[in-house]
Structure 1
Amino acid sequence: MSKVLVVAEHLDGKLNPSTARTVSAAQALNPEAIDVVVLAADPAAVAAEAAQIAGVARVLAVANPANAHAVAQVLGPQIARLAAGYTHVFGPSTTYGKDLMPVVAALLGVNQVSDLMAVEGEYTFKRPIYAGNAIITVEAPAGQKVVATVRTASWSEAARGGNAAIEAVEVQATLPAHTRFVGLAAGASDRPDLQSARRVVSGGRGVGSEENFRLIYSLADKIGAAVGASRAAVDAGYCPNEMQVGQTGKIIAPELYIAVGISGAIQHLTGIKDAGTIVAINKDPEAPIFEVADIGLVGDLFTILPELEAAL
C-alpha cells in the first residue's frame, strides 16, 4: 500500500488552498495514509489548519528558525529526510512547489513527475504536454519513491472537517550555507491571491496602456476578483509579471474568468482551461478566445467595462 507525504504551502501563517487540492490528488491513490508536513519557524497555526483537511492522518510540524522563509535549498533536505517511509511525496504545482519539489527529487535521486493531473494507478499518472494540447501517460518505476508536483487547477479542494493528529517533529538534516534569505520585494494588495481566487479579471494587449489597466482593477474590485494579465500585456509593461496567466505564467482554475482585450493565444488558454465559466470581451469577433469562452461579448472594452460596472 502507498503512503503519501504532502508538502504544505503557506504564507504569513495561513495555509494555501493548493494544499487541500494536493491532498485530493493523494486521495486518488487510495493510500494507506496521507500525512501533511508543515515547515515553518512556528508551524502551529498552519498545522492546525492542515489538520482540518479531510483524509489527512497526521500533520508533521517542523519548527526551525531556518524555515521562516520558503527557501527551497533549506526546506528540501528536511523533506528528503522525512520522505523515508513514504512511497509518494506530493507538492503543489505552484511557484512554491515548482521551486521546491525538484530539489527534493534530486536529493532522493529520482525523476520528478510534473503537473500531475490524473491518477491511473499507484505509479501511473497523466500530465499535460505541448502547452496542454496533449495529455501523456507517465509510468514511474515500480518500487521507486515518487516525487510529484500536482496541477492544482485539475483538482478540487479536499473537504474540511478532519481532525488529524499534530505531531512536533525534529529533523536532523544538514542545511546549506551557500543559500540564504536576504530579502523579499513584493507589491502589497488587498485583492485575492491570483492562483487561489474564485474570480479573476485579466487584461490583454487590447487594454492599450498601463494607465488604461485601471479599468481592469476597477472591475475586479467591484466583484472582489483577483487581477491577471496576458503575456502580451506584461511584456508591454502594463502590469508586473507576477500577474501573468498562461503557460509561462500561472495556471489557474477560478469559478469565473473574465478576459478583457485578450486575443486568446494557445499559451494563455493553457492557463485557464480548467476555469468554470470564461467570459471574453474583445472587439475582434474572430479572436480565438471566443472559441473557448462560455460567454462572449464583441465590442469596445472602453465602452463595455464602464457600462458593466454601472450595471453591477
Structure 2
Amino acid sequence: MEFFNDHRKLFTTAFLLFFVLTLFVAILPALHNQRQNAPLPGHEPLSEAAGKGKSVFIANGCVACHTQQVRNVAMDRPWGKRPSVAADYAGIVRTDAWRNTATLMGTERTGPDLTDVGNRQPSLEWNLVHLFNPRIVVEASIMPAYPWLFEYKAYPADGDVVVNVPEAYLKNGKGKVVATEEALQLVAYLQSLRQVPLPDGRPSPEFLYARAAAQAAAADEGGGLDGALLYATHCQSCHQANGEGLPGAFPSLKGSNVVGGDDLELYVDIIMNGYDARPEFAAMPGIGTMMELTPAEVAAIINHERTSWGNAGTTVTEAEIKEMMDFLAQGADE
C-alpha cells in the first residue's frame, strides 16, 4: 500500500508506463514506416502557392466532401491510374509545428476523389469557374459556390486573372469577376494533386476488375463502347452535356469545324495532346494521353460528338484511330 500512498512513485510509474507504450506503439512504428515508405522518385514538394492553397482547402472544409485515396475497387477507377500506395503520402509534411493536417485522405466522398485531379482537370480556367459557381460547368453539381474567393472589378488590372462567368451568374452586372490570391492558391494546390508513376518500370497494382475484359464484354453486347458515357466522363465538364461549351472559356462542339471536318489528324491530336486556342478560349489539356485512352475509346468519343447535337459528321473506326494515334506518336518521337 505504500506504493499507492506515495504520489511520486505512483505518477513516476504511470509516466514510464505510458512512455514505453507510446514508444513501442506509436514512435518506433512511425520511424519504421518512414524508412520503409520513402516518397516516390517523381514526388514534388508543394510550391509556396500550393502550400498556402492547402490551408485554404482545409479552411473552407473541402476535406469534408472530397477524399484523396484511390481504393483498390472498381468504382475508384475513374479517380486515378492506379490504387494509392503508402509511398504516395510519404512526402507529405506537417502544416507547421503546432498543426498536423498532413494527409487529407478524408472519410466521405460526397464529391469526386481528388488524388489525381491535377491530371484529370489541370485547366486553371475550369477550376476557377467551378469554384465561383459549380453549376456553371456541372449543372447537377451539389457542391457549394465559393464567391468570397473572387471579387468584382469594373476595370481589372493587368495582373488580374479574369474569370469568364456567364451573365446569368453575375451579381447585378457589377463588372468582371477577378480571382483573389486565395482562389489562385487553392487552384495551385488542386493542380499539384497528381499520381506519380511507380519507379523502375514497376507495374501498378491492378484494380479489382479487368478493363480489357469490360471493353470486350461491352463490344459483345451490341455494339462497341458507350461513346456518350466516355464523353460524359472525360469531356462533358468543359464542353457541357449539350456540346455548347462555355462562351469565352470552352469552345462549342455543336457545328464545330473540327468535329465535322475531314482533318482526322487534327481531331485526334487535340484529344490526345490538347490544344491552346488563346486568347479566344482556355487551353485544353491532353486528356487522351493523361487518361490513357485506347483507340476504341477515342473512336467512340469522336463518333458520339459527330452524331450528336445536330452534327452529321462521318463516323470513324477503331482501326482508323489506331493508325492516326500511331502516326502522331511516331511524329512525337522524331
Please give the TM-score of this superposition, normalised by the length of structure 1: 0.28
Q: Tell me which protein shows more strand as a share of its residues.
A: 1
Structure possessing the higher radius of gyration over alpha carbons:
2
Structure with greater proportional helix content: 2
TM-score, normalised with respect to structure 2:
0.27
